[in-house]
Amino acid sequence: MLKRRLGTSGLEIAPLVLGGNVFGWTADKATSFAVLDAFIGAGFNAVDTADVYSRWAPGHQGGESETVIGEWMANRRARPAVCLITKVGSPMPEGKGLRAAYIQQACEASLRRLRTDHIDLYLSHFPDPETPVEETLEAHERLISQGKIRAAGASNYDAKGLRLALEAASAGERARYSVLQPHYNLLVRDQYEGELEDLCISQDLGVIPYFALASGFLTGKYRSAADLSQSVRGGRMKDLMQGRPQALLGAMDRVCARHGATPAQLALAWLLARPGVTAPIASATSLVQLNELLPAVSLRLSEDDLRELSI
């Protein structure tokens, strides 16, 4: 499979990233192993997780997803086949934020859970207003020099914060963020398009959007109040169903009919057609879900399709 260069990171990934937030949560260990087997077996390579996944679930402490992925890589001897992405900074029992000492501590904890000696891409999960960005970047550079990470990136940064971080980078002293992970999809466009998108393109950053399917809304299964009971995210869907989203779903239905595609495939293909996007992140809690998503990388949208979806 043709891989895409991930900004200036030196990494190459296939055009779909598997979201690991569900592993050890809504996908149990056996299901997670099966999904990972099928994803890598189909020629894809990038798996995204975070130390905090899935601390929000009752009885969880964080680290559940990393632990499952680590067990799978060890069991399958699959580490060489994986471009491994994880994150630091969200609240954990041991701490939070982007102070240098905590980044070092959290990285080593992630490495233990993942059963590996290095992380391919290590992301600052959220900006930390209490920590100078220079300190954060020096901590990432230290991890690179130690061989514990290959590249550093940022998640949830706005244009101002990302620009300041890029300006603070210094060769050999402070790492440069080479990748951005923004909240971006066909429904939620205002958080990325415009200044932030322009900055990523001009600075040659890799872009791997999360919530690519808008927490499942863009799969098309949430169309009325009666559909809200289908998922643990039903409450969030209620807000998304008002106004423009209904017109968007109608446009998606028309484009899907022309291509014989599903709404989920269309939503991912739309992201892949956007300038600067390297690969979207999508999660799957079953092989059925995964097998629906994978054909999205082969779906080519016309200019007419793209115009119809821009409503």
Active site residues: 53
Pure H helices in 260-286: 263-273
Which structure tokens are listed for 232? 């643990």
One-letter identity of residue 247: A
Determine if the peptide bond prior to 54 is cis (ω within 30°): yes
Distances in whole angstroms, Cα of residue 137 to Cα of each of 99, 130, 144, 195: 10, 14, 11, 23
CA separation for the pair 77, 64 (Å, rounded): 20
Pure H helices in 97-158: 100-114, 133-145
Which residue's entry shows tokens 């969880």? Answer: 60
Distances in whole angstroms, Cα of residue 27 to Cα of each of 18, 133, 197, 228: 13, 36, 33, 20
